[in-house]
Chains A and B, each alone.
Chain A
Amino acid sequence: MNLFFYIAAVVALISTIMAISGRNAIHSLLYLILSLLAVSVVYYLLDAPFIAALEVIIYAGAIMVLFIFVTMMLNIGIEKSTEKKWLNPRMWIIPSILTAILLIDFILAIKNIHVSPADHKVILPKQVGISLFSTYLLAVEIAAILLMAGVIGAYHLGSQKKKVTHRFLEKK
């Protein structure tokens, strides 16, 4: 079991690295989907099958697809030259240094955790559902409102009013 975890983790990390360092947008997105699938495997190994399914369906299936739609709409996969210009290796140095420092901090922080795990039990989706709709009912409602706000906002922000100018006034 542990082995699967490590393999899935390595796959996730490598594909994330490929995603963030790719030139082609579509390729990067696809790498990202791969990463999400790997993480889903990790979720399953962590006794959260429902969440694993959710991850695939919603995250990889809806959100990433949204990304791909927009990328395709904006037609940017073709322009590799700009990406090449923008992504010179020199840019990676400082963020890498900063992130390395953060990593060290992170490891140091984790080292001080002294916890012992509780006994083994699988969390079933039923438990999650009951918990959602009893303890966290209010949060569910708020999340629903948030989603509605997102829908309305996305609709309004996405619409473009065509600016109507007389053809003699257009400067082209």
Chain B
Amino acid sequence: MLTVPIEIQILFAGLLFLLGLIGLLVRRNMIFMLMSIEIMFNSAGLVFIIAGNHWKQPDGQVMFIFILAVTAVEVAIGLALLLQVYHHYKTLDADAINKLKD
């Protein structure tokens, strides 16, 4: 039985999210960017579990399962795209893929 105040729990999830955001903004290697996105997904799921626990409803956990499914698909597709980019540009630098500029 957990009596940690709900604010602290959400703050913890938020901190994880923000760390993921920092990682996304700072890193230049695309693997790391995808990784940071994973962190953000995970923190979103954490919030759902916290809420579900708080209100004592199964919906939070259901939502987390869906997020998990989406994350899996996203990772698969993202990594496939990453492989294509790597084979074309021979680098994983996010700044190298700037052909869509004005």
Please tell me if the beta carbons of B14 and A106 are within 8 angstroms of each other in the complex: yes
A78 within 8 A of B: no
When A67-B31, A128-B62 are in contact, do A110 and B10 touch as well, CB less than 8 Å? yes
A interface, by DSSP: helix, strand, loop or mixed?
Answer: helix
Main SS class of interface, B: helix
**Closest A-chain residue to B55, C-beta based?**
A118
Question: Which residues of A are in contact with B by a Cβ distance under 8 Å?
Answer: 1-2, 5-6, 9, 12-13, 16-17, 19-21, 25, 28-29, 32, 35-36, 39, 42-43, 45-48, 50-51, 54-55, 58-59, 62-64, 66-67, 70-71, 73-74, 76, 82-83, 86-87, 91-92, 94-96, 98-99, 102-103, 106-107, 110-111, 113, 115, 117-121, 123, 127-128, 130-132, 135-136, 139, 143, 146-147, 149-151, 153-154, 157-158, 160
Please, how many angstroms separate the alpha-carbon atoms of A66 and B34 in the complex? 12
Q: Which residue of B lies closest to A146 (CB)?
A: B73
B18 with A102: CB separation less than 8 A? yes
Which of A25, A47, A58 is within 8 Å of B68, CB to CB? A58
Q: Which residues of B contact A (CB under 8 A)?
A: 1-4, 6-7, 9-12, 14-16, 18-23, 25-29, 31-32, 34-36, 38-39, 42, 46, 49-50, 52-62, 64-66, 68-77, 79-84, 86-87, 92-93
Known: A95-B26, A115-B6, A128-B62. 20 other contacts (CB 8 A): A1-B2, A12-B16, A20-B23, A28-B32, A42-B46, A46-B49, A48-B52, A63-B38, A70-B82, A74-B92, A82-B93, A91-B26, A107-B11, A113-B10, A127-B58, A143-B70, A150-B74, A151-B76, A153-B76, A158-B80
